[in-house]
Structure 1
């Protein structure tokens, strides 16, 4: 029954918003989350009168969104949940004719998003630019370079070790550049040290993700296939996060990163093929 399902959603969201409010240090964020939580409780009571049933929150659902907020930031967790709210609004539109009182709930649901956008002062999202910088650089540089090396030398472990050395050195270089960049733009409210750490960590994490396959296979070309799969997964996962948190076009972002990353890899593939064919280097 649709009404029962919506009643369950409302009690889940009441507990989610209340728990998220407890995590907030910003009084403004805390107050708005509590206000929305109480609205969700009122919506639950409305549907309870219709269904005649008492429901408890689904603990796993509540815990899941709290986990997402802690790991990826408040913006991501709330925006992901609000996508569910958009589907709920379509549900309310169908019910307004049958239950005129649902019009009030529908109007309140529509202003949720505006309220949420006003409170999203999310530290994790503020440093998303640093993660983009580190991750994009690692994807473009390492996929390209490792492709060229793998085509020139067939020893997978050699390629993997080379990738690790390059990744560590490049991450330190990137972190240093990021620190200087942030220090020159102190009006942005970004801490240079934290910005540098996010950039370097993103580069190192992406490096590990890309080079790991080479240590579990003997052929560098086989490792190359798994590396491309890892790169594709990294691009899809990260861009899903940004698309949700910043309300951006997921398809457009993914397409753009795929073209850049794999375009560079294709050029490197050609260079590696030439080296392998005409110089006969095989390790």
Structure 2
């Protein structure tokens, strides 16, 4: 490829793109080195090789070597270890696509750039789709546990707050109920998956469902253990529910290429709608049954 005339703006854009490619090459290579599954390791190595080729393409124009961004490298590496490879790589590719939209001056200098970027994007998506993660195979079980826990416990804690008006008693009642419900949900998921010949491992599915349910229970009940006022505790519980819904909806949306906003609003409306109904029911029970704690 012929060297383009060195315009400072064009050179800056090309060097930025070149640095992004070498950084991603190192991210994929490092993840491949710590991945146990041979299938996933092979996919990551292939993506890393692709990124190195992209880096060399830019180098043909810039005639320079560029060091990787070590801070981004560390961030994405840790994110992949904590949140999973598929989610992190799709998040990373989404950020890079927005950051590296073709600059008009760059396109004028190198007309083939849009085609190059389009081919890179398509190929990287195909390779990322080859990655098979256990946490995504059991995502349906996790969704079941999280959704049930959020919907049930935001409503239940709202009702208990108005019925009992005592943080400690509410927390004890909710934890007992939560443990029983988590075991029940896990058992139901086990039986459900076992009845399906092509379903994943029923024991693991049951574990993911029960564990997800219990995590949400602990998060939502914690304010009642920490705050003396049940009403303040309820506010923080509802904020915690919003945070869980937001994070998990975002996670699913990125990992599985699903729309975020509509799913988030729907789940939020269901959870808080049930909580609002439970407010009224709890208050009515307290008044009509003359409950005093």
TM-score of the alignment, normalized to the shorter chain, above 0.5: yes
- Give the counterpart of 2:218 among 183, 208, 213: 208
Question: Structure 1 CA distance, aligned partners of 2:43 and 2:225?
Answer: 50
Identify the range of structure 1 (49-58 vs 201-210) with the bigger mean alpha-carbon deviation: 49-58
Question: Structure 2 CA distance, aligned partners of 1:130 and 1:94?
Answer: 49
Once the two structures are TM-superposed, the CA of residue 107 in structure 1 deviates from its matched residue by 3.7
- Give the counterpart of 2:85 among 52, 74, 77: 74
Once the two structures are TM-superposed, the CA of residue 133 in structure 1 deviates from its matched residue by 0.6
Question: Structure 2 CA distance, aligned partners of 1:240 and 1:107?
Answer: 25
Once the two structures are TM-superposed, the CA of residue 214 in structure 1 deviates from its matched residue by 0.6
CA contact (8 A) 1:175 1:197 kept: yes
Q: Return 5+ residue gaps in structure 2 as ranges.
A: 1-11
Once the two structures are TM-superposed, the CA of residue 256 in structure 1 deviates from its matched residue by 1.1
Q: Does 1:239 align with 2:214?
A: no
Q: Does 1:119 align with 2:106?
A: no
CA contact (8 A) 2:102 2:114 kept: no
Partner of 2:258: 248
Identify the range of structure 1 (133-142 vs 65-74) with the bigger mean alpha-carbon deviation: 65-74
Q: 1:144 to 1:94 in 2, by over 3 A?
A: farther
Question: Structure 2 CA distance, aligned partners of 1:282 and 1:212?
Answer: 24
Question: Structure 1 CA distance, aligned partners of 2:15 and 2:222?
Answer: 47
Q: Return 5+ residue gaps in structure 1 as ranges.
A: none
Once the two structures are TM-superposed, the CA of residue 48 in structure 1 deviates from its matched residue by 3.6
Question: Structure 2 CA distance, aligned partners of 1:136 and 1:212?
Answer: 18
Equivalent pairs counted in the alignment come to: 282
Q: Give secondary structure in 2 for the equivalent of 1:90.
A: coil
Q: Does 1:166 align with 2:177?
A: yes
TM-score, with normalisation over the residues of structure 2? 0.88
Q: 1:94 to 1:106 in 2, by over 3 A?
A: farther
Question: Structure 2 CA distance, aligned partners of 1:94 and 1:279?
Answer: 75
Partner of 2:187: 176
Q: Does 1:198 align with 2:208?
A: yes
Once the two structures are TM-superposed, the CA of residue 47 in structure 1 deviates from its matched residue by 3.0
Question: Structure 1 CA distance, aligned partners of 2:32 and 2:104?
Answer: 29
TM-score, with normalisation over the residues of structure 1? 0.91
Question: Structure 1 CA distance, aligned partners of 2:99 and 2:119?
Answer: 12
Q: Does 1:149 align with 2:160?
A: yes
Question: Structure 1 CA distance, aligned partners of 2:232 and 2:288?
Answer: 22
Question: Structure 2 CA distance, aligned partners of 1:88 and 1:39?
Answer: 19
Question: How is 1:77-96 mapped onto 2 (pairs within 5 angstroms)?
Answer: 77-87=88-98, 90-91=101-102, 95-96=106-107
Question: Structure 2 CA distance, aligned partners of 1:259 and 1:251?
Answer: 12
Partner of 1:280: 290
Question: Structure 1 CA distance, aligned partners of 2:29 and 2:112?
Answer: 25
Cα deviation code 1:123-173 (max 9, x no counterpart): 111111111111111111111111111001111111111111111110000
